[in-house]
Amino acid sequence: MRIADFLSPQAVVADMQARTKAEVLRELSATLVRAHPTLREDRLVAVLQEREKLGSTGIGEGVAIPHGKLAGMDSLQAAFCVSRTGVDFESIDGKPTHLFFALVAPENSAGVHLKALARISRLFKNPRFRAAILEAPSAADIHALIVQEDARP
């Protein structure tokens, strides 16, 4: 499984406008809906909010991976947004979060969901990669960087 299998270029935002955690979840959901019009934004927001109640998905180093499962989906879908200013996402390191990778999986897809989370987490551990994403000028450039980095062995 490659990230390009579930992250379309249309689901990438180079300069998100959200300034709060709630706004981030709404903007990620809206981004997913733009790329996949059959999804419902209100349901996506609810799923992501429900997961955040268990504990922040801000994994540190400026990265958060909000995620959840949604009934009626037939495949894994993702959105990726960059906040140039950073958002207090209650991250485990207490630092502002700049890189948001939302992942929504079909309700009965534990294996695929966990593999995708692990792959994303591994990718964003690389500080040079995170810096390159923050410096990328456009959504197309960001998507290309993610696909390129994910293709490395």
Confidence tier at 21 by pLDDT (50, 70, 90): very high
Confidence tier at 1 by pLDDT (50, 70, 90): confident
Query: What is the secondary structure of the chain as a DSSP string?
Result: --GGGT--GGGEESS----SHHHHHHHHHHHHHHH-TTS-HHHHHHHHHHHHHTS--EEETTEE--EEEETT--S-EEEEEEEEEEE----TT-SPEEEEEEEEEETT-HHHHHHHHHHHHHHTT-HHHHHHHHH--SHHHHHHHHHHHHH--
The total of structural domains in the chain comes to 1
Confidence tier at 32 by pLDDT (50, 70, 90): very high
Considering only residues 100 and 109, tell me which one the structure prediction assigns the higher pLDDT. Answer: 100
Looking at the predicted structure, is the pLDDT value of residue 135 above 90?
A: yes
Q: Is the full-model pTM beyond 0.85?
A: yes
Domain that holds residue 8: 3-151
Task: Please pick, among 67, 98, 113, 143, the residue that the annotation labels catalytic.
Answer: 67
> Domain containing 47 — which CATH number?
3.40.930.10
Looking at the predicted structure, is the pLDDT value of residue 42 above 80?
A: yes
Is 113 a catalytic site residue? no
Looking at the predicted structure, is the pLDDT value of residue 152 above 90?
A: no
pLDDT cut 90: percent of the chain above it = 90
Give residue-wise pLDDT tens across range 80-100.
999 999 999 999 999 999 999
